[in-house]
Amino acid sequence: MISPYSTQESAMKPAEHVVCQVLDECGGSESGNPGTKPRILFHMMSNGGINSATNLLRVLERRLGKPLPLVGLICDSVPTGASYMKTRRAFMYSFPARFPVNLISSAVIHVLISPLYISIAMGRYEAPEDYWRKSILDEKLIDSKRICYVASKADKMIDWRDVLSHAEQARPKNWEVKEFMFEETPHCNHISKYESIYINAVADMWENNKH
């Protein structure tokens, strides 16, 4: 996620190919009058998921020349807010917490992300978190108005308030917003305790139900 956006977008080529195959089968990748409406649901989990989704959307918009038709988006434990410490915390989550590995990991992470945030401060780059938050609500990238957020107040990586603030950004843009906020589930593992709620939420987005 600290690579240049152009490098990350190039890595989306295999996924781009698969999505375009689906659109071709529906007659919707080149024609303005698709036959069968494609059914694609974006289910994003954590920073890595929304980062990949954002890069894929950018690649597809350039290829298709129009937004990607989706039945909806699911944001599981994402999006986070933009700050140096939140980015550091997200990277630390992937490393062992025991001493002295945690000290070594922290030093390595500072070395990795410091150049990124110096570039952001200089105006060379937009903060990745801001880029993600803006992109998944961009009507130039997405042909959909349905989004579902799943988060937990016990998440040690993503601040649940950042997730809810994004939901509040979506509502004035006329998005149909659903929110599931849990008290004690860990990061990206809400299904471990709320299996039926989680599965029903995904099924509801896929089936395109209106309430």
Which pLDDT value is given to residue 133? 95
pTM over 0.75, yes/no: yes
Which pLDDT value is given to residue 32? 46
Residues 6+ apart with CB under 8 A from 36: 25, 26, 27
Which pLDDT value is given to residue 2? 64
Among 79, 54, 207, residue whose Cα is nearest residue 141: 54
Helix ranges restricted to H, 74-191: 84-92, 101-121, 128-135, 160-170
Residue 185 CB-half CA count within 13 A: 20
- Residue 51, φ and ψ in degrees, nearest 5: -65, -45
Boundaries of every domain in the chain? 5-81+129-207, 83-126
User: Which mean pLDDT values do the consecutive 10-residue runs of the chain (211 residues) have?
Assistant: 79 94 78 68 94 95 95 96 70 71 76 71 76 96 97 93 96 97 96 97 84 42
Matching CATH number, 5-81+129-207, of 3.30.300.30, 3.30.700.30, 3.40.50.1100, 3.40.50.1820: 3.40.50.1820
**For 123, left (φ over 0), alpha (ψ -120 to 50), or beta?**
left
